[in-house]
Amino acid sequence: MDKDFWKGKHFSFFQNKECEYFPCHKTDKPEDFNCLFCYCPLYALGDKCGGNFTITEDGIKDCSKCMLPHVKSNYAYVRSKYSEILDLVRTQLSEAEDK
């Protein structure tokens, strides 16, 4: 399968311009702002997400300046990380079963 099969497909891009927070991150290109991954699935990967995040004084991951999941052309990158998210879930489930 072509690695760029998703380009130009409607399932890879979504905007909710009526959202009270649109766009939720500062951008010079609101027309290209992708709301598809509104709640970033990469958050769980911590420092392996590939995004532009910081850690607050309280130890919380702050993604407020990260545009990675909201850039139209990053659909494939986000999807490529799903196997890592699945591995993380499997590890957590296995650890929970061991308790």
pLDDT by 10s per residue, the chain, length 99: 577 888 878 889 999 999 999 999 999 999 999 999 999 999 999 999 999 999 999 999 999 999 999 999 999 999 999 999 999 999 989 888 887
Q: Tell me the C-alpha distance between 49 and 83, whole Å.
A: 12
pLDDT for 1: 58
pLDDT for 9: 82
Question: By residue range, what is the domain housing residue 84?
Answer: 10-98
Could you identify the residue written with the tokens 């709301």? 35
pLDDT for 97: 87
End-to-end Cα, the chain, rounded Å: 41
Q: Tell me the C-alpha distance between 43 and 35, whole Å.
A: 15
**Residue 41: inside a domain, yes or no?**
yes
The model's pTM is 0.82
Query: Domains in the chain: how many in total?
Result: 1
Cβ partners under 8 Å of residue 38, min gap 6: 16, 24
**Residue 31: inside a domain, yes or no?**
yes
Per-residue DSSP letters for 85-96?
Answer: HHHHHHHHHHHH
Q: Tell me the C-alpha distance between 10 and 55, whole Å.
A: 34
**Residue 5: inside a domain, yes or no?**
no
